[in-house]
Amino acid sequence: MTRYPRSGKGRKWTAIELRSVTTTWQGDTLSDGDGLVGEVRGATDGAVSIRFKYAFRWEGKISWHQCGTWPKASLEEIRRERDRARDQVRSGVNPSDLKKVERIEAQAKVRAIIAEAQLQATEQLTNREMFEAWLKDGVMRADKNAELRRLFEKDLLPQIGRLAVRETTDAHLREVLRKVARVRDCPGLAAMLLADLRQMYRWAEKRKPWRPLLIEGDPAQLVDLKSIVPAGYKPGVRDRVLSAVEIRELSHLFQKAEQTYEAAADRRRATRPVQKQTQLAMWIALSSLCRVGELLKARWENVDLDTGEWLVPAQDTKTKVEWLVFLSEFCLAKFRALHQITGHGEWCFPASSEKEPLNAKTMAKQLGDRQIQFKKRKDLKGRRNDNSLVLAHGRNGAWTPHDMRRTGATMMQALGVPPDVIDRCQNHVLPGSKVRRHYLHYDFAKEKLDAWQLLGRRLQSILDTDTDEDMQSANLVHSAANSALRRRVSVRRQLKLDASVTA
């Protein structure tokens, strides 16, 4: 039904008249003249709205152009839109098509603004954001990247974390790495951080959104190791091997510290010795040639004290190869002593919570804190700060838990054990082609058993020796082998480190 103003057909509606329209008119048409009509609409809340449109002829057909909805738009605005559309028709332009064009242009403008904002946001992505993306999708180390995060959070991200990737230059990286190498006097750590940075940037260069940000190249590749470390620096390839005299001295130091503590009148104020578990770990590492990290992950379920066998699961080894250790009488005695302390739980070397194994760094700190003459740091509160475990008056430098593995291997060599058997006792990745490793499956069980027993007897002999003269004489037996092995290990690790830094 078409309705007209009170003033009659051909007249225009007023706002007062429109406000008096009720929902009973819903669906009716209001004629406003000059081709403008309105359709009455109702709402659930009883309100009324009127949608106005302009009728015009286009290409022989009646077309409609939407002019607005009252009361959202006033009658004046609606009529102006009608007049504009009428003028466009007269000039040969379809107003509805023009409105579509304007809407498309507006949408394109919005998309362009959003794209520009996204581009600007991408260009401002920081090194921290790239690091987080790399940790999530680009690298997964055995410790779930815990050490990698610790090092970056401590040494790199505080300096360059907020810096945009596209603004990062080799000068920025060189400056922060020099602080680590020269100011903190940790050149080895700086070399390792440089290798990690290069790995991260190589990953980023191949992926969006990082690839466009590195259009001018990888800044880490422009950093030369020699430019950040002190002059004369040589990569820290350790070749420390404990002599027979030092092995016996270490045993005496352990025993003396315990005896002094036990005899103290007030143990609360007395100096505590190294934890018994740590002492036993050193003897087990020395006699089994295991890696300290592998040892600390040992579970009692994998140690058979009756047969004298220790199974190291593949997931706990560096090589990801299952490893069976035949325990010598010497090593088995240490495991049995350890079982008296920690045998009630799951782990051979539990952390204080007993829910997880002891961290290798914890043990290294216990030993390092008792050799502070080799450390360039101030005394640390709550930690030992003495030289109670310095061997041979410090002439041969500090010793670490990993040196035990090297020492045991060197002693095996001096005892005539073939190098390929020693490699198997250490669970090394064996040299040779993959085809060779695929077809040759002899496990050398007898040879390894004999080698470990030979080493165990040698260690027991050293600890049972009474005089320094006897010890010095025994020391000469394998000193030449020590030097040869140190040179071989040094060259091999030097080449490996150079390759990782230059990769």
Give the H/E segment covering residue 65.
strand 61-70
> What average pLDDT does the segment 44-48 reach?
80
| Predicted local distance difference test score (pLDDT) of residue 491 | 46
Residue 355 CB coordination number (10 Å): 10
3-state SS, residue 468: helix
Mean pLDDT across the chain: 87
> What average pLDDT does the segment 302-319 reach?
94
| Predicted local distance difference test score (pLDDT) of residue 206 | 93
pLDDT over 60 (residue 489) = no
Kindly list the distances between the CA atom of residue 473 and the CA atoms of 17, 244, 478, in Å, as whole numbers in the listed order. Answer: 122, 10, 10
pLDDT in tens, 430-460: 766 665 666 666 788 999 999 999 999 999 9
Q: Which residue has the higher pLDDT, 281 or 501?
A: 281
Which residues lie below 8 Å from residue 455, measured CB to CB, with a gap of 6+?
Answer: 287, 289, 328, 330, 408, 411, 412, 415, 417
3-state SS, residue 53: strand
Q: Quick one: pLDDT band at residue 464, thresholds 50, 70, 90?
A: very high
> Domains along the chain?
2-116 (3.30.160.390), 127-227 (1.10.150), 244-502 (1.10.443.10)
Tell me which range, 99-108, 356-365, 409-418, is most confidently predicted by mean pLDDT. Answer: 409-418
> What average pLDDT does the segment 266-293 reach?
93
pLDDT in tens, 376-408: 778 888 888 999 999 999 999 999 999 999 999
Phi first, then psi, for residue 68 (nearest 5°) are 135, 165
Which residues lie below 8 Å from residue 52, measured CB to CB, with a gap of 6+?
Answer: 32, 36, 37, 38, 39, 66, 67, 68, 69, 70, 78, 82
pLDDT in tens, 316-372: 998 888 999 999 999 999 999 999 999 999 999 999 888 899 988 889 999 999 999
| Predicted local distance difference test score (pLDDT) of residue 467 | 55
| Predicted local distance difference test score (pLDDT) of residue 433 | 60
